[in-house]
Amino acid sequence: MRSRKIPLVVAAAASASMLLASCGGGGEDDGATTGTLDFYTNKAAWEPDFDELNAASESRADITLNTTGYSDAEQYDAFVRQSFRTDKSPGLFTWQTGPSLAELVEEDLIAETTDIWTKAVDSGWVSTDLRETYTYDGKQYCVPMNIAYWVMYYNKNIFAEQGIEEPTTWAELNSIAERLTGAGITPYYQTSTLFTFQWFQQMVAGTDPELYEGLSTGEVKYTDPRIVDIMETWLDQEEAGWFSDAGSTTDPAVGLKQGDYAMINFGSFFNGSLDGAGMVSGEDYDMFVIPATNPDLEQTPVAVESGPLCVAENSSQKTLGLTYSEWWMSPEAQTAWSEARGDVAFNPKATVADPMLEELGTTVASDDYQLYDRYYEATPTPILTVALEQFGAFIANPGDPMPFLETIQAEADDYWAEQE
Amino acid sequence: MTSDKATRPKAAKDPYHWSARGFIAPGVLGVAVLLYVPLLWTTFISFTEYNGLGDPEWIGVENYVEMFDDPAFLGSVLNTLLWVGGTLLVPVGIGLGIALLTWNLKGGTWLRLPFLIPYAVSGIGVAVIWSFILGSGGALDQALGAFGFSDTPRWLVDAPLNTVVMILATAWQGVGVNALLFTIGLQSIPKEPLEAARIDGAGGFRLFRSILWPMLRPLTAVVVGLSIVASLKTFDIVQGMTKGGPGRDSETLALTMYKETFVNSEYGLGSAIAVFLTIVTLAAAILYLRQQLSSKHEG
């Protein structure tokens, strides 16, 4: 009996190893430059915009995107990571810049795009500053899908009713918040999940951009007295009732529309959501660049995020993905994208459909402003995860900031120790 | 079939058995490949440092040490225990109560039906419905506001209240099926001992304690066993309602495992939590069922 079991065990082991073997490696690049390109994104809400763009890409580049949108970012990240081990790695996919992209580049999983960037920079399609974000060891990887500046959106009706003008200094912004609170209106939106970092980011970078930079390189500790001071200010503001109910499940755009709060600190992609909620750009809502906390700064720091479009190195559609990436950088593609999505264009030669966004693009390009990487991209992932949770916990139950900062710093200590 | 068996002298050598094994083999192989291989792989990964991209690097028991050192993990163990206790008390307890109150009633089926309908909703569906109700400024707050209660608790924000209300949301879904199972158990109790007890003057609580409860025991063992296993695995409701937050206040073990693996890309640590969770779940199920079912024989 016993000996007869052996063939079964051997068969099971053999099929298991075959299954594992078939999971490894990637596909062979088929070399096609036209056709249907499988595209994966965690921006499921933008799927109609990508479909709209197909009209332009079909006629100009003879490539059609077949978009699969994920609405859960975590699930999406796991899917992309796992796909590199199969022959289904995507010909085109969206990702995050910063440490998440660096990790993929280090493992040689991403196709190089240096030639595309060289052509784009030479043609004046993209700034050299933006190229830095996509450069690893002197080579470029991926192309920018979008660019967003983090600004303050406000409900124009509330500002008009209260006789409030856009602030030009931090002190003015604070007095607006006080005035709104006095009138029974909550000044700012906040949430305790995911987007918990922006006020921290705003106040740290607005106080001292080098301090902000130090957090992302590990040179500054989260328990640094200057950071603690900033958190104390945030706590005072929380206690003064400047922020909305963190547990609210109302969509942020709808909340701004119905006046649950007067202002919301968000990326310039938020125009699309506000338009979707039925507000009219320039009539019902407007935006301003948030003045620096520290009035002595010569340039006003503005957070910028740029999401990449990447091609997997071992994808069977590598050539097709790179061909599309090259077209994507062109003014015609960016003009079509701006029309479809209603977003800021990274290509200065593209025409931006929404005048408010066009103005923002010109404003922040001037010497009075300094762009810095958004906290989400600037912070290494393990520290970011803990920080987002801790800011969320602080927002839900504002109190002594030290325990929150110590928890983040403990993770940061572990992370930087591993990097040495 | 029984006559076949009787005419078969040495069953093991019978070609029938080998053909039967041949038919079963693909299924067994499927289970082995799809269940045991991943289980072994996960166990192996739990002893490595692995970000899901490169190659796993052997680090021994470091992940397990880190896991037990992490206050968030210990918090998540406590929350999971709260879930185990809560889902035993609420959905199992209320389910039993409903079954007892309705099994002898005319039209009892119709009374039980409304409790059963939420069982058809998926876990995430339950989470979405209850988020609308319990979110700040949600349906419950508005209803309480209409009665003049303005200072309502922050149901999903404050711990451990958020875990308690999520257990209640799960109870809303699970109570009907427990009531149904207990009703089946009650209906299968033979009439004679019940009538004898009634003639002896037993009724109400006495009848329950001395007759119904002991005779329901095998079924209770199964219902409680299933409930323990389900509550140890709690994931969808919490992920849907609070994502384990604020901070990590309402995380359960399954959620911690998911976060470490897929959010932090700490596949090794996530696998260590998965192994821990598997051992705890299996141990709880085996110990509980063995104790219950064997003491039934003794009794």
A412 and A269, same structural domain?
Answer: yes
- A137 and A164 belong to one structural domain: no
The average pLDDT across B56-79 equals 92
Token pair for residue A134? Answer: 């996509």
What is the architecture, at CATH level 2, of domain B66-298? Orthogonal Bundle (1.10)
Q: C-alpha distances in angstroms, A139 versus A102, A116, A325, A398, B90?
A: 12, 11, 16, 44, 60
Give the model's pLDDT for residue B11.
Answer: 55
Q: Do A397 and B32 touch (CB under 8 A)?
A: no
CA distance A179 to B137: 24
Indicate yes or no: CB of A396 within 8 angstroms of CB of B37: no
Retrieve residue B289's tokens.
Answer: 């069922």
pLDDT at A26 over 70: no
Q: Is there a contact between A78 and B261 if contact means CB atoms under 8 Å apart?
A: yes
Using the beta-carbon criterion (under 8 Å), do A77 and B262 form an inter-chain contact? yes
Option in A19, A103, A393 nearest B51 (CB): A103
Closest CA to B256 of B128, B86, B78: B78
Task: Write out chain B residues lying below 8 Å of A395, CB-based.
Answer: 246
Give percent of chain A above pLDDT 90: 56
As a whole number of angstroms, the distance between CA A61 and CA A239 comes to 55
CA pair distance A111, A129, nearest whole angstrom: 21
The per-residue pLDDT for B12 is 57
- Domain contains A214: yes
pLDDT at B52 (0 to 100): 82
* Residue A383 pLDDT exceeds 60: yes
**Regarding predicted confidence, which is higher, B122 or A167?**
A167
Residue A295 sits in a domain of what CATH number?
Answer: 3.40.190.10
Among A13-22, A394-403, B13-22, B221-230, the least confident range? A13-22
Q: Are residues A211 and A315 in the same domain?
A: no
| Contact at CB, A381 and B262, closer than 8 angstroms | no
Alpha carbons B170 and B126: distance in angstroms, whole number: 8
Instruction: Please judge whether A393 and B249 are an interchain contact, meaning their C-beta atoms are less than 8 angstroms apart.
Output: yes
**A3 in a structural domain:** no
Cβ of B263 within 8 Å of Cβ of A74? The answer is yes
Beta carbons of A249 and B131 less than 8 Å apart: yes
Structural domain span for residue A358:
35-147+305-365
When pLDDT is averaged across residues B5-26 and rounded to a whole number, the result is 74
CB contact under 8 A, B247 and A390: yes
* Predicted confidence (pLDDT) at residue A228 exceeds the cutoff of 50: yes
Contact B246 A82 (CB under 8 A): no
Test the B interface: residue of A1, A96, A397, A419 with most B CBs within 10 Å: A397
Are A290 and A392 in a shared domain? yes
Q: Is A80 domain-assigned?
A: yes
The partner residue sitting opposite B12, judged by closest CB among A1, A74, A192, is A1
Using a CB cutoff of 8 Å and minimum separation of 24, what contacts does A56-59 make? A56/A332, A56/A333, A56/A336, A57/A324, A57/A327, A57/A333
Choose among B25, B51, B245: nearest Cβ to A8: B25
Last residue of a domain, one of A321, A338, A365: A365
Question: Is the pTM here over 0.90, yes or no?
Answer: no
Question: Does the CB of B154 have a partner CB in chain A at under 8 Å?
Answer: yes
Query: In chain B, which residues have their Cβ closer than 8 Å to the Cβ of A21?
Result: none
Mutate to test the interface with A, among B28, B53, B76 (most CBs of A within 10 A): B53
Residues of B in contact with A81 (CB under 8 A): 52-53, 265
pLDDT given at position A150: 94
Of the candidates A123, A157, A48, A108, the one whose C-alpha atom is nearest the C-alpha of residue A311 is: A108
Closest Cα of chain B to A150: distance in Å? 24
Residue A21 confidence (pLDDT) above 80 = no
Hey, where are the domains in chain B? Answer: 4-11+15-45, 66-298
**CB contacts, 8 Å: B138 with chain A:** 249
Are both A44 and A135 inside the same structural domain?
A: yes
Q: Tell me the percentage of chain B whose pLDDT exceeds 90.
A: 35
Average pLDDT over residues B56-77: 92
Residue A8 placed within a domain: no
Q: B69: distance to nearest CA of chain A, Å?
A: 12
* Phi-psi map region of B59: left, alpha, beta (phi>0 left; psi -120 to 50 alpha): alpha
Helix (H, G, I), strand (E, B) or coil at B49: strand
Same domain as A297, residue A186: yes
Closest by CA to B238, choosing from B256, B250, B226, B229, is B250
Query: Of B29, B132, B245, which has the smallest distance from its Cβ to A389's Cβ?
Result: B245
Of A324, A345, A365, the one marking the end of a domain is A365
Domain identity same for A178 and A259: yes
Task: Say yes or no for a CB contact (<8 Å) between B157 and A397.
Answer: yes
A332 with A190, same domain? Answer: no
Task: Quick: pLDDT tens for B223-280.
Answer: 888 889 889 989 999 999 988 878 888 999 999 999 888 888 889 999 999 999 999 9
Q: What is residue B50's three-state secondary structure? A: coil
What does the block give as tokens for B78?
């406590």
Residue B65 and residue B67: Cα distance in Å, rounded? 5
A193 and B25 within 8 Å at the Cβ level: the answer is: no
Q: Angle at the Cα of A302 (from A301 to A304), degrees rounded to 5?
A: 135
Least CB–CB distance from A392: residue in B28, B246, B266: B246
- The alpha-carbon gap from A282 to the nearest alpha carbon of chain B, in Å, equals 29
Residues A187 and A275 in one domain: yes
- Identify which of B33, B53, B258 has the shortest CB distance to residue A19: B33
CB contact under 8 A, A192 and B25: no
Q: Chain B residues with CB inside 8 Å of A1's CB?
A: 12
> 3-state SS of chain A?
CHHHHHHHHHHHHHHHHHHHHHHCCCCCCCCCCCEEEEEEECCHHHHHHHHHHHHHHHHHHCEEEEEEECCCHHHHHHHHHHHCCCCCCCCEEECCCCHHHHHHHHCCCECECHHHHHHHHHCCCCCHHHHHHCEECCEEECEEEEEEEEEEEEEHHHHHHCCCCCCCCHHHHHHHHHHHHHCCCCCECCCCCCCCCHHHHHHHHHHCHHHHHHHHHCCCCCCCHHHHHHHHHHHHHHHCCCECCCCECCCHHHHHHCCCCCEEEEECCHHHHHHHCCCCECCCEEEECCCCCCCCCCCEEEEEEEEEEECECCCCCHHHHHHHHHHHCCHHHHHHHHHHHCCCCCCCCCCCCCHHHHHHHHHHHCCCEEEEECHHHHCCHHHHHHHHHHHHHHHHCCCCCHHHHHHHHHHHHHHHHHHC
Q: H/E element holding B275?
A: helix B267-298
Amino acid of residue A125: W
Look at residues A320, A341, A365 and tell me which one is the last residue of a structural domain.
Answer: A365
Q: Please tell me the total number of residues recorded for chain A in this structure.
A: 420
Instruction: Work out the average pLDDT over B94-105.
Output: 88
Per-residue confidence (pLDDT) for residue B243, from 0 to 100:
87
The chain A residue lying nearest B66, using CA atoms, is A414
Task: Tell me the pLDDT band of B47, cut-offs 50, 70 and 90.
Answer: very high
**A40: Cβ contacts below 8 Å, ≥ 6 apart:** A67, A68, A70, A76, A79, A80, A90, A92, A93, A94
Residue A40 has pLDDT above 90, yes or no: yes
Say if residue A324 is in the same domain as residue A393: no
For chain A, how many structural domains are there in total?
2
Residue-wise pLDDT tens digits, A66-125: 999 998 888 898 889 888 888 788 999 999 888 889 989 998 999 999 999 999 999 989
Tell me the β-bridge partners of A188.
A243, A263
Question: Quick check: is A240 in a domain?
Answer: yes
Q: Per the domain annotation, does A19 fall within a domain?
A: no
Q: Which pLDDT value is given to residue A246?
A: 86
Does B127 contact chain A (CB < 8 Å)? Answer: no
Residue among A34, A64, A71 nearest A50 (CA): A64
Predicted confidence (pLDDT) per residue in B191-217, tens digit: 888 888 888 887 778 888 888 888 888
Residue among B21, B53, B138 minimizing CB distance to A81: B53
Q: Scan residues 43-102 of B and list those with Cβ closer than 8 Å to A.
A: 51-54
Size of interface A-B (CB pairs under 8 A): 97
Reduced to 3 states, what is the DSSP secondary structure of residue B136? strand
Instruction: Give the H/E segment covering residue B145.
Output: helix B139-146
B132 vs A contacts (CB less than 8 Å): 249
Residue of B67, B128, B264 to mutate for A, most A C-beta atoms under 10 A: B264
Phi and psi at A147, nearest 5°, equal -140, 140
CA B43/CA B36 separation, integer angstroms: 10
Q: Which residues of A touch B251 (CB under 8 A)?
A: none
Is residue A22, in this structure, part of any structural domain at all? Answer: no
In this complex, do A246 and B132 lie within 8 Å of one another by their Cβ atoms? Answer: no
Q: Quick check: B35 contacting A, CB < 8 Å?
A: no
Question: Chain A within 8 Å of B13 (Cβ-Cβ)?
Answer: no
Using CB atoms and an 8 Å cut-off, which of residues 188-247 of chain B contact chain A?
Answer: 243, 245-247
